Amino acid sequence: MQDQATTPDATLRAMQAIVGERACLSGDTDTQAYVTDYRRIYHGRARVVVMPSSTEQVSRVLQWCYANNVPVVPQGGNTSLMGGAVPDDSGTAVVVNLSRMNRVLAIDTINDTMTVQAGVTLSAARSAAEAEQRLFPLRIGSEGSCQIGGNLSTNAGGTAVLRYGNMRDLVLGIEAVLPDGRIYSSQRGLRKDNTGYDLKHLFIGAEGTLGIITGAVLKLMPQPRSSAVAFVAVDSPAAAVRLLGEAKHLSGQAVTAFELISQPALELVLEYLGNVAAPLPARHDWMVLIELTSGTDAESLNATLMEILESGFEQKLVVDAAVAASLSDAQTFWRIREEISDAQTRTGGSIKCDVSVPLSRIAAFVEEASAKVLALEPAARMVIYGHMGDGNVHFNPLRPKDQTAKAFLAQWYEPISSLVDAMAHAENGSISAEHGIGVVKRDDLTRYKSAVELELMWQVKQALDPRNLLNPGKVLPARGH
């Protein structure tokens, strides 16, 4: 029998007493948007969705849930591709949505830091930095909806990691509420602090399984004064890697993005966008989007880009290239790249493998894995794209045009994703380079993490969340699985 204190009604009343009536949602209709994941694969249920407006409220919510053994699912912009931010369908969990904690609290232009609440969207954080002539460099397609707390919880990457690193590299301190309501804070804006374990890193990338991140001190960078963008057809993935080497060599630190795009990825996104012209006149199997940025003037940066492309042509790495002649050209090139993911979602039936391998192996990996997938299903559309400069590609075979998503996934999801993951692992790679684990990849960890790694993960979980209340069922496979 259900404990009286934790019936859905009692839970709702307790939450209302903490955050106010208007900041609580209940019932399947009102909670729908918060229990359905971004890709609409998972449809969970929540006892209550709570929207606290302060760290103190988050703390009181967690204290109550801890005392009453109620599971809690932390949620930012709900853009996880791995089902990491929604509850299961038991209807037992309280979803703690951080959207109302959306204030930029301070910008220190001498320390080059920005203090934010966790519910600030990435685009709002970037705009706030820009208003102070600073750059917050994390760049991902979902920036309008994803939130800093979620970016930290998943250690988000994106298209500027090559230059600036991922979220872990962009944060100096965080505030997080522990499962029992205690508050951990390291928000002092220090670039140097070697006083024992750097505990913030436990919460970063933990996908809300150890605590709820409520705030952060982020690093700010100088705004680049110029940028140069080109859409380049390359001879092969190996040519792309060599071109990247050339670009790094000739430009110093200026290569900000180096994104691979396969022909089927381009075709798919152009069909989805409808009225956008292909950047290059002819059809090419492999392309890269290159962006250089620098603190110097546009003229010398453009000259560097031309030098890189000329060298690429001479070495037969580059087949054709379109250099953005205006901001609007550059935006179009980027739009093509950024919308590939949504184009796949709309089409349905894509097997998403977010893999990384050492840069020295990425070209061979792409070629070999493609050949193996095509040997299984020759009509699969090889939508392969992403952050080649980081050794990370979104290797997402898509259903043939004449197959339904359901039929394709039923037949191929398991064999193809296992094949690709195993190949990446064999190259010392990762089966989840930047999208995290969530529910989708949870059980795969038993295959790809060592016994020591898994044991340490369970021990950390046990130490911080002994009652297994925070985001249960995510990230960690069952012990003894």
Sign of CA dihedral 329, 331, 332, 334: positive
d(CA 142, CA 412): 28
Rounded to an integer, what is the distance from CA 430 to the centroid of its chain? 15
DSSP character at residue 82: S
Among ligand 2HG, Zn ion, none, the one that 139 touches (CB under a kind-dependent 5 to 8 A) is: none
Distances (CA, A) of 322 to 229, 269, 277, 290, 367: 9, 18, 12, 10, 25
Among ligand 2HG, Zn ion, none, the one that 352 touches (CB under a kind-dependent 5 to 8 A) is: ligand 2HG
Among Zn ion, ligand 2HG, none, the one that 57 touches (CB under a kind-dependent 5 to 8 A) is: none
Q: Which residues bind Zn ion (CB under 5 A)?
A: 386
Sign of CA dihedral 371, 377, 379, 380: negative
Indicate the residue among 386 and 389 with the shorter CB distance to Zn ion: 386
Q: Which residues bind ligand 2HG (CB under 6 A)?
A: 81, 141, 340-341, 352, 386, 394, 396
Question: Rg of the Cα trace of the chain?
Answer: 23
The closest residue (CB) to ligand 2HG is 341
Among Zn ion, ligand 2HG, none, the one that 396 touches (CB under a kind-dependent 5 to 8 A) is: ligand 2HG
Q: In what order do the strands lie in the sheet with 255-262?
A: 318-323, 226-234, 286-294, 255-262, 381-386, 392-398, 353-356
Indicate the residue among 81 and 171 with the shorter CB distance to ligand 2HG: 81
Among ligand 2HG, Zn ion, none, the one that 18 touches (CB under a kind-dependent 5 to 8 A) is: none
Query: Cβ of residue 351: shortest distance to Zn ion, in angstroms?
Result: 16
Indicate the residue among 150 and 386 with the shorter CB distance to Zn ion: 386
Query: Cβ of residue 290: shortest distance to ligand 2HG, in angstroms?
Result: 16
Query: Cβ of residue 341: shortest distance to ligand 2HG, in angstroms?
Result: 3
Query: Cβ of residue 81: shortest distance to ligand 2HG, in angstroms?
Result: 6
Residues in contact with 318: Cβ distance below 8 Å, sequence separation at least 6, in sequence order: 232, 233, 234, 235, 239, 243, 309, 312
Among Zn ion, ligand 2HG, none, the one that 445 touches (CB under a kind-dependent 5 to 8 A) is: none
Query: Cβ of residue 203: shortest distance to ligand 2HG, in angstroms?
Result: 21
Query: Cβ of residue 143: shortest distance to ligand 2HG, in angstroms?
Result: 11
Indicate the residue among 60 and 337 with the shorter CB distance to ligand 2HG: 337
Question: Tokens 């030098």, residue?
Answer: 307
Residues in contact with 146: Cβ distance below 8 Å, sequence separation at least 6, in sequence order: 76, 77, 79, 121, 122, 140, 156
Return the bridge partners of 353, or none. 395
Indicate the residue among 189 and 436 with the shorter CB distance to ligand 2HG: 436
